[in-house]
Amino acid sequence: MPLNGSNQTNWFHKDYDFLKVKPEGMKDLTHNYSQVWQDIFALVVNDAKRDGTFLEIGGAQPFIGNNTWLLEEKYNWSGVSVELDQELCSMWEGQRPNTELICGDALEIPWDDLDLPSKMDYLSFDLEPPKVTLDVLKKFPLDRYQFNCITYEHDMYRDWGDVTGHRDIFSEHGYDLVGFQIHNGPCCMEDWYIHESIPNEIRNKLRSYSCQPYEVVLDQ
C-alpha cells in the first residue's frame, strides 16, 4: 500500500456547497493532495470527468503535494509525468499504475516523438527554478497539443526577472488566464488557464483576481 498522502488535504466535503460550478462527481470528495488546489481546479474545469488525461511536467513526489494523484486515485485519469530528480523518480516505482513516468530533463525531451493524445484535459507545469520552467514552455509544442486547463508555477516570489513571458505564449495559443498570481501564504507562485474551447460561462465564473486559490472555484 503506498504512502498515499492521507495527511495532505485542504479540501473538505463541505466545500462542495460553495463551488461556483458544481460537478456531480465531486459531491462525495473528502480530500485532495496538491499544494494550492491545482487538482481541484482541474476537476472543476473538466466536470469531474472519469478517465481523463494529463501531462505533468515536474511530478516531484507521486502522492503528497502532487497535482495529479487525486485525479488518478479517485477518477481513474491517466497520463505522463516528467521528473528530473533521480531520488524522487525512485519513489514512483510501482506506485502510480495509470501514470507513465519519464525520469529525465524536460528541456531535452523530444515532445513531438511522444505518443500523447493531441487533446488532453490538464497540463501541470511545476519545475525549478522559474527560468527553467519558462525555457521548457518555449520548447513545448503547444501548437500540437491542446489542454482544457493548465496550472503554471512561475514562482515570481523567488525571481522577479523575466518569468511572466508565459502569459503571452499561452494567450497566443488560445488560453484564458483565470487565476492570477495564485499564492501560498505570502508567495505569488502560479497562474491558471482555461482553453478558449471551454464555454465562456465556465471561464467567466471561475475568473478571479483575489490570488487566493480557493476563490477561483468557490463563492465565498
Distance CA 37, CA 63 (A): 14
Q: Average pLDDT of 116-133?
A: 92
Residue 5, in any domain of the structure: no
Please determine, for residue 171, whether its predicted confidence score (pLDDT) is greater than 50. Answer: yes
**pLDDT value for 212:** 82
Nearest CA to 58 out of 168, 137, 138 is that of 137
Domain that holds residue 39: 13-217
Residue 4 confidence class, pLDDT cut points 50, 70, 90: very low
Q: How many domains does the chain have?
A: 1
Q: Average pLDDT of 164-185?
A: 89
Residue 3, in any domain of the structure: no
**pLDDT value for 162:** 62
Answer for the pair 162, 195: CB distance below 8 angstroms, yes or no. Answer: no
- pLDDT, tens digit (0-9, with 9 covering 90-100), for 16-39: 999 999 999 999 999 999 988 999
**What are the angstrom distances between the C-alpha of 2 and each of 40, 74, 91, 132?**
22, 15, 10, 31
Distance CA 142, CA 75 (A): 26
Percentage with pLDDT > 70 across the chain:
90
Percentage with pLDDT > 90 across the chain:
73
- pLDDT, tens digit (0-9, with 9 covering 90-100), for 178-204: 998 887 766 677 899 999 999 999 999
Distance CA 133, CA 102 (A): 17
Nearest CA to 86 out of 64, 66, 104, 62 is that of 104
Domain CATH for 169? 3.40.50.150
Residue 127, in any domain of the structure: yes
Answer for the pair 78, 98: CB distance below 8 angstroms, yes or no. Answer: yes
Residue 6, in any domain of the structure: no
Residue 7, in any domain of the structure: no
Residue 109, in any domain of the structure: yes
Main-chain phi, psi angles of 69, to 5 degrees: -60, -45
- pLDDT, tens digit (0-9, with 9 covering 90-100), for 65-80: 999 999 999 999 999 9
Mean pLDDT of the chain: 90
**pLDDT value for 210:** 78
Residue 160 confidence class, pLDDT cut points 50, 70, 90: low
Residue 49, in any domain of the structure: yes
Q: Average pLDDT of 163-183?
A: 89
Residue 102, in any domain of the structure: yes
Distance CA 20, CA 123 (A): 22
